[in-house]
Amino acid sequence: MTTTVSVCMATYNGARFVRHQLESILDGLNPGDEVVVVDDASTDDTADVVAAVGDDRIRLIRSETNRGYVKAFEAAIAEATGEIIFLSDQDDEWVPGRRALLVEALRDRSIAAGDLVLLPDDAPLRSPLTGRPWHLDALPSGGSLANELRLLAGDAPYYGCAMAFRREARDLILPFPEFLVESHDLWIATVGNTARGLAHVQSPVLRRRLHDANASAPKPRGLRKALQSRWMLLRAWREAARRIRSAR
């Protein structure tokens, strides 16, 4: 039996690139898959552009109020019906074969993350800390303390747009912690690493587009914001451990 996939996308004022992104996604999906798009009360015509794609696999949910991308992704994930849930931003481009790569990685793991390259020339993503090409390392046994420390230090390239997880992992991931105001992708990676259920796909699964409206900053932030982010991730680590203990 074919595994079904749900792609969860949050959109906000993304009319410029969203059609191209959706077309690259739909080209890689099977007929029984779906794309759940939660539009976060865009002030441009993003939602209309999504609707105009005209593919029955797209399910568009229009939010009446803007709640931010974390809540929009949470709402999309809650609506997903597939056995495997992919995350997607509104402005990138899927690499051909992405579906198969991540589904295969999830055969014996609950959460998977892949590498990415940059549009338009497939240049490598570079670390905001060192400037060197940034790739996922080999990960033994589905997670490790060393990997969690890299994540807390901001030196682990986890991007939601290159992630997927099994439906049963949703009970650990949702609801997002109330203190999570950014970095839903790092929360999901923390859950996977803490549960020893994380897989790394060490090949590109996405071509990422950098532009002036990206939700995630390409450069290091100031000290205060960096410390606030690290504290939030420490709380996320503790919350992930609590949920995993409770599930057992």
Domain boundaries, the chain: 5-247
E strand intervals along the chain: 5-11, 34-39, 58-62, 84-88, 93-94, 111-118, 123-124, 163-166, 198-208
Q: What is the pTM of this model?
A: 0.94
pLDDT at 135: 95
Give the 3-state secondary structure of residue 230: helix
pLDDT at 245: 97
- Report the chain (248 residues): mean pLDDT per 10 consecutive residues: 93 97 98 98 98 98 97 98 98 97 97 97 92 93 94 93 98 97 96 98 96 60 77 97 95
Give Dmax (Cα) for the chain.
Answer: 50
For residue 57, CA distances in Å to 11, 39, 122, 237 come to: 17, 16, 29, 35
Q: What are the tokens at 106?
A: 């999830």
| DSSP conformational letter for 133 | B
Task: Name the amino acid, one letter, at 31.
Answer: P
| DSSP conformational letter for 4 | P
pLDDT at 214: 62
pLDDT at 65: 97
Assigned superfamily of 5-247? Spore Coat Polysaccharide Biosynthesis Protein SpsA; Chain A (3.90.550.10)
pLDDT at 223: 63
